[in-house]
Amino acid sequence: MTWDEYVTAWSKLHGGFDPRQAAPVVRGWVRGAYRIGSFLGRKGVTPFTVTAAGVLLCLAVPLAALAGRPGLALGALLVLLAAVADALDGAVAVVTGRISRAGYIYDSVADRVGELGWLTAFWVGGAPGWLVVTAGAASWLHEYVRARAAAGGMPEIGAVTVGERPTRVSIAFTALIAGALLPWPVFTVAAAAWLVMQAIGFGQLIFVVRRALR
């Protein structure tokens, strides 16, 4: 599959967004995913395999956090690798022609399970359990509203909010790096930041839904 063919297929899955017109960083990220996804596809790697690998990387993060500060640095690396896997499973699906509704569901579930692993690492690092649970519930609610609105035929719900997955990746990575260098309360701050971003994102989604209903 050529780059232009890939962009056409990729764009259909992302609300018509053309990465060739995006900022250099976004364009480079999508092209990099295309190249690596093409390589994996030629080697016979399936999208599900990449998705499963991403989940395992995420679930390893709290285990790494149990090792203390050295483990937190490793956890940050695992978060980055999981984020790469999250981008690559879609790329492999596109270049191999294995795009399916089942794959979309698996990917969404994998994202939520993976984020649960990151939040568990926050708890291991000293964040209050109630705050971690609330932050996790807020991100799940954020995605639930999007899913239900999309199922209801609201294309506008694809609008990007401040609580999207890249934000969660950034918070998890930053928290783990900071936790390896600073006192433990950093994870409480990270969990609170996660919750605030999800609350704002939820408000943005509700605004878009209400506008679509009117």
Residue 73 clears pLDDT 90, i.e. is over it:
yes
Banded pLDDT at 15 (limits 50, 70, 90)? low
| Predicted local distance difference test score (pLDDT) of residue 155 | 59
> Stretch 140-151: mean pLDDT, rounded?
82
More confident site: 100 or 159: 100
Give the integer Cα–Cα distance in Å for 178 and 169.
Answer: 14
Q: At what angle do helices 47-65 and 69-96 cross, to 10 degrees?
A: 170
Q: What is the pLDDT of residues 124-138, one digit of tens each?
A: 999 999 999 999 999
Give the integer Cα–Cα distance in Å for 115 and 129.
Answer: 15
Residue 182 DSSP one-character state: S
Domains of the chain and CATH, by start:
3-213 (1.20.120.1760)
> Stretch 95-123: mean pLDDT, rounded?
88
What is the pTM assigned to this prediction? 0.86
> Stretch 1-19: mean pLDDT, rounded?
77
* Of 15-19, 85-89, 193-197, the least confident: 15-19
Q: What is the pLDDT of residues 29-56, one digit of tens each?
A: 788 888 998 999 898 999 999 999 999 9
Strand, coil or helix: 99: coil
| CA 167 from centre of chain | 8
* Of 2-16, 161-175, 189-203, the least confident: 2-16
Asked whether the CA dihedral 149, 150, 156, 159 is positive or negative, the reply is positive
Give the integer Cα–Cα distance in Å for 132 and 90.
Answer: 29
| Predicted local distance difference test score (pLDDT) of residue 25 | 66
Can you list the pairs that 16-21 forms with residues at least 24 positions away whose Cβ atoms lie under 8 Å? none
* Averaged pLDDT score across all residues of the chain: 87
Q: What is the pLDDT of residues 181-206, one digit of tens each?
A: 987 799 999 999 999 999 999 998 88
| Predicted local distance difference test score (pLDDT) of residue 97 | 86
Give the integer Cα–Cα distance in Å for 30 and 45.
Answer: 19
